[in-house]
Amino acid sequence: MTSLPLVVIAGRPNVGKSTLFNRLAKKRIAIVADTPGVTRDRKEVECDIYERRVMLVDTAGLEEAPPESLYGRMRASSTSAIARADLVLFVVDAKAGLTPTDNHFAAWLRRQGRPVLLVVNKAEGRGGGAASMEAYSLGLGEPVPVSAEHGEGLSDLLSEIFERLPKLPDEEVAAEGSEEDEAARPIKLAIVGRPNAGKSTLLNHLLGEERMITGPEPGLTRDSVTVRFSDELGEIDLVDTAGLRRRARIEEDLEKMSTSSSIEALKMAEIVLLMIDALEGISDQDLAIARLVEREGRALVLALNKWDAVEDRAACLKTVTMRLEASLAQMKGISLVTFSALTGAGLKKLLPAVRATYAVWNKRIGTSALNRWFEQALARHTTPLVSGRRLKLRYITQAKARPPTFVVFGTRAEQTPEDYHRYLVNSLREEFSLPGVPIRMEFRGTENPFAKE
Please report, as a single letter, which amino acid is at residue 108: W
Contacts of 207 (CB under 8 A, 6+ apart): 227, 229, 238
The conformational region for residue 88 under phi > 0 = left, psi -120 to 50 = alpha, else beta, is beta
CATH architecture of structural domain 367-444: 2-Layer Sandwich (3.30)
Q: Residue 266: its pLDDT value, please? A: 79
CATH topology of domain 186-361: Rossmann fold (3.40.50)
Residue spans in the chain of domains classed CATH 3.30.300.20: 367-444
Q: Residue 326: its pLDDT value, please? A: 87
How does pLDDT run along the chain (453 residues), one tens digit per residue? 347 899 999 888 888 888 899 888 876 643 333 444 433 345 778 888 877 889 898 887 765 554 555 455 555 666 777 888 899 999 999 888 888 888 888 888 888 888 999 999 998 866 666 667 788 888 888 888 988 888 888 888 888 898 899 877 654 434 444 444 555 678 989 888 888 888 878 888 887 766 544 444 444 444 456 777 888 888 888 887 766 655 544 444 444 555 666 677 777 788 999 999 999 888 888 898 888 888 888 999 999 999 999 999 999 999 999 998 888 888 888 999 999 988 989 999 999 999 999 999 999 999 999 999 999 999 999 999 888 888 999 999 998 888 999 999 998 898 999 999 999 999 999 999 999 899 999 898 855 444 444
Q: Residue 428: its pLDDT value, please? A: 96
Strand partners, 441: 406
Q: Residue 316: its pLDDT value, please? A: 92
CB environment 311-345: b (16+ within 10 A), e (fewer): eeeeebbeebeebbeebbeebbbbbbbbbbbbeee
Q: Residue 178: its pLDDT value, please? A: 47
- Distance, CA of 211 to CA of 202 (rounded, Å): 10
Task: Note whether 260 and 268 are within 8 A (CB).
Answer: no
User: Dihedrals φ, ψ of 254, to 5°?
Assistant: -65, -40
CATH topology of domain 6-171: Rossmann fold (3.40.50)
Q: Residue 159: its pLDDT value, please? A: 85
Q: Residue 150: its pLDDT value, please? A: 85
| Dihedral angle computed from the Cα positions of residues 288, 289, 291 and 295, in that order, rounded to the nearest 10 degrees | 130
Closest CA to 9 of 110, 98, 119, 96: 119
- Distance, CA of 204 to CA of 188 (rounded, Å): 17
Residue spans in the chain of domains classed CATH 3.40.50.300: 6-171, 186-361
Three-class secondary structure of residue 333 per DSSP: coil
Rounded to whole angstroms, what are the CA distances from 423 to 265, 389, 432, 436? Answer: 33, 20, 14, 16
C-alpha Rg value of the chain to the nearest Å: 23
Angle of helix 154-164 relative to helix 253-268, nearest 10 degrees, comes to 50
- Distance, CA of 434 to CA of 369 (rounded, Å): 15
